[in-house]
Structure 1
Amino acid sequence: MQQPSVSSGEVDFYIPSIEKPCKTFYIIYGDPKTRRPLVCAHGGPGAGHAYLKSFASLTADYGIPVILYDQIGCGNSTLLPETIGDINFWTIDLFMTELDNLLKALNVEDDYDFLGQSWGTILGSEYIISRQPKGMKHYIISNGVASGKLFGEATRKLISELPQESRDMILKHESSKTYDDPEFQEASMVFYKRHVCRLDDWPEDLMQSLNLLDLHNNPTVYLTMNGPSEFTMVGPLKDYSAVGRLHMVNVPTLIMNGEFDETTDSVNMPFFIEIPKVRWVTISNASHMPWLEDPDRYFSVLANFLLS
């Protein structure tokens, strides 16, 4: 395996309602001039690119250039803590505009593939439906969310299957909104170890991204748009839905999720039913991070789809 070249930088991102200059951080593995790149949108929202760094193996093993970036408000991009709670500022449209800006700045807008992971699939689906981008050639829905309502129903069912003590702690603190209580955090970890990442030892890259979502770190975007945990959706994303509009996704699409994923089959089913050119692969014994839990299988499926 040959180590790919790595470059990084920042792209100016003008936001009319923000007085200070804003920037989007990116990192590129390989050379997008040699082959069509895969642009990856991270989850959260607000998780940053760190937990996707192992996507560099697509470049090393298959020669596919990969572009990762930190969406505005997190990671190495401009942070805007003063906007926490402002649902009129933190919108899907803001992130679509940022994506437009990034693709143009990197000169890949005419020929690229796109992967969204978790929240990134909301961004990706809405981007395709509303923008109909001619440059996007393939779409990968990794651990996707077609509807906030479906996702909420799925996580409630998964919570009902947790050990009684963990379930009771979660419901108790959700009721009192004491999300920063250690009891709630401990019970949440039982859920995460089953349905977010099933590895015994979580990689440092994953911990770096999860730390951006930690309540004690004031995660502006995550708290505003989603809520205090993966399964406690109180922000506007709980009402999001692409159902009934996904037939407008007009590029070959691959759905990937894990056998024990918090984005269960029921959450992904609308993608499969509505998107015209679609295939679906579920990674056995994996959850919401299958590229970490079974990288050989995940990247093999992904590369075969992109190179076929």
Structure 2
Amino acid sequence: MTSPAALPAKGTVPFGEHKTWYRVTGTPGAGRPAVVVLHGGPGSTHDYLVGLAALAQEGWPVVHYDQLGNGGSTHLPGKGAEFWTPRLFLDELDNLLLRLGLRDDYVLVGQSWGGMLAALHASARPGGLRGLVVADAPASYPLWLREMRVLRDRLPEGVNETLRRHEAAGTTDSQEYFDAMMVFYNRHVCTLDPWPREFVATFMEIYNDPTVYYAMNGPSEFHVIGSLRDFGVEDRVADIEVPTLLISGRHDEATPATVRPYFDLIPDVRWEVFEESSHTPHLEEPERFRQVLIEFLKGLG
């Protein structure tokens, strides 16, 4: 097994027959726990979270990785929906921690789907986990879908009708659907105009290979018809023992109702709402996000 202090800056680790791409900023094992970053999607990439690498300047080594099926990790466009499961991605995370020698001292920062995955991992009470950050993540997709209906009904006149027409017809790959979808995204996913380059990079990666996103989620954030449509973590999060930070934006597609189960059920938890943000507070309010995250990490001892 690789010694943390000797890790290359980036590379891949074997995961069964496949490979997981990773990048390390800073030197694990030098004092503070490694911060391992779990991106959203499922089927996204690390790119939009790359700014978290700046934590290394404060002494926390940062590990980014691309989950299987996207980015620098092995792409598997021939795999059906039955292959892409939460268990697969939990196993991939466990394998990454083992291969990089991080299992004894680490913090997880999960965003959106990555937050659900991180919460599941934490609920197993791994001995080396020091803290957990769940950012912009619903506690379940049934909750998410219920709140999506609320947000969609508030879109400008005609937009939701366009979305519904194409969803009913199965024409969600049309330009008209995409244009209507972007009205929602610009309100509830990222409110910055233009979108930051790293966010665009992630967005394009999903559409370059939508295998995982389409199988598990569906054609859009708010039309979840994939294998996760009935998935949730509410029955597991009460088992989380480490200090937990919840983050969400005031205009987030992960509305307060979707986040609240974490707050109600995790024993040691605090919740920070970013008033000027939607689903990406780390991009929309980067300075405050940095301050809140560093304060939490310092509090872990």
* Same structural fold, with TM-score higher than 0.5 when normalized by the shorter chain: yes
Aligned partner of 2:63 in structure 1 is 67
Query: 13, 33, 40: which is aligned to 2:29?
Result: 33
Q: Which amino acid aligns with 1:41?
A: L
Q: Which amino acid aligns with 1:198?
A: T
Note the alpha carbon deviations across 1:95-152, whole angstroms, 9 max, x for none.
11111110011101011000111001121122222x3211111000000120110001
**Distance in 2 separating the partners of 1:128 and 1:64:** 19
Structure 1 outlier segments of 4+, above 2 Å: none
Note the alpha carbon deviations across 1:26-57, whole angstroms, 9 max, x for none.
01111112121110100001111011111122
**Distance in 2 separating the partners of 1:9 and 1:256:** 30
Aligned partner of 2:218 in structure 1 is 227
Is the CA contact (8 Å cut-off) linking 2:122 and 2:132 kept in structure 1? no
Query: 29, 43, 46: which is aligned to 1:49?
Result: 46
Q: Which amino acid aligns with 1:167?
A: N
- The alignment status of 1:78 with 2:74, answered yes or no, reads yes
Is the CA contact (8 Å cut-off) linking 1:6 and 1:30 kept in structure 2? no
Query: 66, 90, 99: which is aligned to 1:96?
Result: 90
| CA spacing shift, 1:37–1:218, aligned 2, 3 Å | closer
Q: Which amino acid aligns with 2:9?
A: S
Q: Which runs of 5+ in 1 are unaligned?
A: 15-20
* SS, match of residue 125 in structure 1: helix
**Distance in 2 separating the partners of 1:167 and 1:254:** 34
CA-CA distance at 1:248 after TM superposition: 0.5
**Distance in 2 separating the partners of 1:69 and 1:218:** 17
| CA spacing shift, 1:279–1:6, aligned 2, 3 Å | farther
Query: 98, 117, 125: which is aligned to 1:123?
Result: 117
- The alignment status of 1:238 with 2:232, answered yes or no, reads no
**Distance in 1 separating the partners of 2:283 and 2:138:** 19
Is the CA contact (8 Å cut-off) linking 1:244 and 1:274 kept in structure 2? no
Between the aligned residues of both structures, percent identity stands at: 42
* SS, match of residue 158 in structure 2: helix
CA-CA distance at 1:236 after TM superposition: 1.7
Q: Which amino acid aligns with 2:105?
A: D
Is the CA contact (8 Å cut-off) linking 2:116 and 2:134 kept in structure 1? no
Aligned partner of 1:18 in structure 2 is none
CA-CA distance at 1:87 after TM superposition: 2.7
* SS, match of residue 244 in structure 1: coil
Is the CA contact (8 Å cut-off) linking 2:20 and 2:66 kept in structure 1? yes
- The alignment status of 1:268 with 2:247, answered yes or no, reads no
Aligned partner of 1:257 in structure 2 is 248
TM (normalized to structure 2)? 0.94
Aligned partner of 1:158 in structure 2 is 151
| CA spacing shift, 1:169–1:6, aligned 2, 3 Å | farther
| CA spacing shift, 1:6–1:257, aligned 2, 3 Å | farther
* SS, match of residue 229 in structure 2: helix
Note the alpha carbon deviations across 1:231-263, whole angstroms, 9 max, x for none.
010012110122233210111000000010000
Is the CA contact (8 Å cut-off) linking 1:6 and 1:29 kept in structure 2? no
Question: What are the residue-to-residue correspondences of 1:160-239 with 2, within 5 Å?
Answer: 160-214=153-207, 217-239=208-230
**Distance in 1 separating the partners of 2:191 and 2:29:** 37
Taking only aligned residues, the RMSD between alpha carbons, in angstroms, comes to 1.3
Aligned partner of 2:297 in structure 1 is 306
Is the CA contact (8 Å cut-off) linking 1:30 and 1:59 kept in structure 2? yes
* SS, match of residue 276 in structure 1: coil
- The alignment status of 1:106 with 2:100, answered yes or no, reads yes
* SS, match of residue 141 in structure 1: strand
Q: Which amino acid aligns with 1:275?
A: I
CA-CA distance at 1:88 after TM superposition: 2.1
**Distance in 2 separating the partners of 1:272 and 1:92:** 22
Q: Which runs of 5+ in 2 are unaligned?
A: 1-6
CA-CA distance at 1:288 after TM superposition: 0.5
Q: Which amino acid aligns with 1:302?
A: L
Q: Which amino acid aligns with 1:9?
A: G
CA-CA distance at 1:6 after TM superposition: 8.4
